């Protein structure tokens, strides 16, 4: 996108909403802001109707602040709690049919590559665990098999949260939810490992408990998807409403599972991705 496209056309300054003007003047576009700058700029997602203490809302906020080029990023979302955030998001985004997000993102990325061959356009899927690992798993994996240059981010609240609490493939063994009262009978689907063996060049598991790590993972995933191949980031986003803990305890839940080893952060690079990231981050270090 060109910088001028974001400017308010002369004569329209008085009629544009103040929120919009604030975004143009103080938003993150073309500025290279990151998680460390939060609190100093007008954010892409500032208001949303998600529950108090929602880990997914915090993950969305941090993800938006981590995008390397928000002005040239198109997010493909799916039905679920995150879909309540996207209408309030100052980012180009598409809402797709539940489970279809990686097919929609595939077409979008291919069309953008044809239409703008000399420009960087990042296509990022952001969807829930149900949309990614259950109903959309075949579609997600086939986009990896085809080596589509898109980033898939799963917001894993370990449940179908938006529909009142059914178990998902990502719920832990034994998890008891409103509509899964007898407890889940099998373990979490190992999606990071599936991503790796399905050809993703970069895979990371992170959480909003460690915002800088989350930022690094989102950035690396997007940079690798631009040049090498598909990438996957799984963000653990505890849900106080369905797992029935206090809103203030959401981040403690991450810590508990990291310590007991049931949900640990990790990172995988293919050799090509590792080389790219070393080159790009090495360059950045030299500049700083």
Ligand X SMILES: Cc1ncc(C[n+]2csc(CCOP(=O)(O)OP(=O)(O)O)c2C)c(N)n1
Using CB under 5 A, list all residues that contact Mg ion: 128-130, 157, 161
> Closest CB to ligand X among 177 and 224?
177
| Ordered alpha helix ranges (H), 99-207 | 101-115, 129, 137-145, 191-197
Phi, psi of 54 (to 5 degrees): -65, 115
Selected from 34, 55, 85, 130, the binder of ligand X by CB under 6 A is 130
- How near is the Cβ of 189 to ligand X at its closest, in Å? 12
Q: Which residues contact 177 (CB under 8 A, 6 or more apart)?
A: 159, 165, 166, 167, 171, 242, 243
Partner in contact with 163, chosen from ligand X, Mg ion, none, beta carbon below 5 to 8 Å by kind: ligand X
- Residue 157's SS3 state is coil
Q: Is 151 in the site for ligand X (CB under 6 A)?
A: no
Interacting residues with ligand X between 168 and 187 (CB under 6 A): 168
- Token pair 């500032």 is found at 46
> Closest CB to ligand X among 130 and 211?
130
> Closest CB to ligand X among 81 and 273?
81
Size of the site for ligand X (CB under 6 A): 18
> Closest CB to ligand X among 99 and 229?
99
> Closest CB to ligand X among 97 and 111?
97
> Closest CB to Mg ion among 59 and 104?
59
CA contacts within 13 A on the Cβ side of 52: 6
Q: DSSP state, 77? A: E
Nearest 5°: the CA angle 229, 231, 237 is 170
Q: Is 77 in the site for ligand X (CB under 6 A)?
A: no
Partner in contact with 263, chosen from ligand X, Mg ion, none, beta carbon below 5 to 8 Å by kind: none
- How near is the Cβ of 128 to ligand X at its closest, in Å? 2
Q: DSSP state, 39? A: T
Q: Is 129 in the site for ligand X (CB under 6 A)?
A: yes
> Closest CB to ligand X among 56 and 228?
56
237 burial level (CB within 10 Å; 0-12, 13-18, 19+): buried
How long is the chain?
288
Residue nearest Mg ion by beta-carbon distance: 128
Q: Is 97 in the site for ligand X (CB under 6 A)?
A: yes
Q: Is 101 in the site for ligand X (CB under 6 A)?
A: no
- Residue 235's SS3 state is strand
- In whole angstroms, give the CA distance from residue 34 to residue 65: 5
Partner in contact with 82, chosen from ligand X, Mg ion, none, beta carbon below 5 to 8 Å by kind: ligand X
Alpha-carbon dihedral 280, 281, 285, 288, rounded to 10 degrees:
70
Q: Is 139 in the site for ligand X (CB under 6 A)?
A: no
Binding residues for ligand X, rule: CB under 6 A, are: 56, 79-82, 97-98, 128-131, 157, 159-163, 168
């Amino acid at each position: 996108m060109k910088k001028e496209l974001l400017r308010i056309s002369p004569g329209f300054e008085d009629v544009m909403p103040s929120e919009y003007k604030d975004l143009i003047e103080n938003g993150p576009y073309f500025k290279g802001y990151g998680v460390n700058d939060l609190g100093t700029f007008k954010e892409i997602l500032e208001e949303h109707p998600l529950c108090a203490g929602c880990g997914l809302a915090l993950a969305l906020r941090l993800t938006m602040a981590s995008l390397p080029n928000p002005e040239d990023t198109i997010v493909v979302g799916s039905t679920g709690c995150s879909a309540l955030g996207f209408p309030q998001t100052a980012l180009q985004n598409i809402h797709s049919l539940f489970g279809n997000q990686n097919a929609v993102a595939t077409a979008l990325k291919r069309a953008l590559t044809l239409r703008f061959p000399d420009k960087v356009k990042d296509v990022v899927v952001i969807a829930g665990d149900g949309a990614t690992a259950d109903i959309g798993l075949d579609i997600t994996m086939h986009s990896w098999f085809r080596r589509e240059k898109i980033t898939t981010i799963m917001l894993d609240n370990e449940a179908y949260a938006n529909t009142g609490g059914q178990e998902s493939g990502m719920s832990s063994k034994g998890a008891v939810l409103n509509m899964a009262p007898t407890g889940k009978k099998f373990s979490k689907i190992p999606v990071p490992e599936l991503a790796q063996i399905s050809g993703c060049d970069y895979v990371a598991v992170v959480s909003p408990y460690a915002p800088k790590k989350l930022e690094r993972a989102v950035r690396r995933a997007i940079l690798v998807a631009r040049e090498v191949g598909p990438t996957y980031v799984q963000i653990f986003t505890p849900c106080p409403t369905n797992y029935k803990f206090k809103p203030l305890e959401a981040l403690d839940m991450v810590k508990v599972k990291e310590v007991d080893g049931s949900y640990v952060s990790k990172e995988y690079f293919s050799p090509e991705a590792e080389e790219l990231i070393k080159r790009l981050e090495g360059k950045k270090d030299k500049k700083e």
